[in-house]
Structures are given as C-alpha cells and as structure tokens.
Amino acid sequence: MTFLKLNKNNKNNLKLAILQKKWIIACLCARWCDNCRKYKINFFKLSQRYLKYYFVWIDIEDQYHIIGDFDINNFPTLLIQYGNKVLFFGEVESKISLTEFIFNNIYQKNKELNSNFLLEKENKFWQKNIELSFRLNKNYL
C-alpha cells in the first residue's frame, strides 16, 4: 500500500511514481475542512484495498510551497492521473464509494483513451496546469 501525505521530504517519491507511470489518486484538501477530515479516513482505507496504486493526500494550504495554487471550488477534490496524464480533476462527495466508482471507471477506460481525449479543451488545461510532476518541478517560493 502506498499512502503519502505530501510534504517536502517525500515529494521526490511522488515524482518517481509519476515517472514510473503509476496510477496516482490524489485528494486535494484543507486541514480546516470537516468533510476532508472525515474523507481522509476512508481515503486511507481505500488505499489499503488498492495496493498497487499511489494514494496522495495534499493539503493545498500547508503544501502550497510544494504544489502551488490550485483553483478549488469545493472539498474534497480528486485528481487522478496515470503517469503524467491527468484523467480526472474535480470535486467529489465525501462518500468514498463515489471516488472508487470514478477511479474504477477511469481505470477500465484508460485503454480506450487516446490523443483525442488529451486534445479536448478542458483536458489540455489539466495537462498544462494541473498535472503533478509539472507542479512538483516548479518553485513556488
């Protein structure tokens, strides 16, 4: 199981996972958010069921210096990427079953996703501005 609470000491582990084309399931949250605190427990449990995937907890305020500024409408927000290809970015209900449903559907359809998916306007934005290795390589201080 890989569950990582992102910080400056382990960000290179995430970079390596991206380079190794691992599935990254990241939750973007804030410490003050009650929904996020509840969701974190179930997000961790989900990581225990999907052992070969890389689950990352990112507090967008505490880790701003690592990850930069995300335009988040609501918490929790889920980011799913395979290697350096972002496949989903959006808010989810705090029910972990929805996260699992989204992830499983994207996982099943990944083979069908082709370059047309990456050329769509919203997805081009994700690849340019949301993708984690891009953000981890920038300096936000």
pLDDT digits (tens, 9 = 90+) for 120-132: 666 777 777 788 8
pLDDT at site 33: 92
Query: Confidence band (pLDDT; 50, 70, 90) for 13?
Result: very high
Using one digit for the tens of pLDDT, what is the confidence trace for 30-80?
A: 999 999 999 999 999 999 998 888 999 999 999 988 888 877 888 999 999
Q: What are the extents of the domains in the chain?
A: 2-136
CATH 3.40.30.10 matches 2-136: yes
Q: Distance between CA atoms of 24 and 84, rounded to whole angstroms?
A: 9
Q: Is 74 exposed, middle or buried (0-12, 13-18, 19+ CB in 10 A)?
A: exposed
pTM, entire model: 0.85
Proportion of the chain above pLDDT 90, given as a percent: 40
Give pLDDT, residue 55.
Answer: 96
> What's the confidence (pLDDT) of residue 111?
59
CA angle 24, 15, 124 (to 5 degrees): 65
> What is the pLDDT, as a whole number, of residue 59?
94
68 burial via Cβ count (<10 Å: 0-12, 13-18, 19+): middle
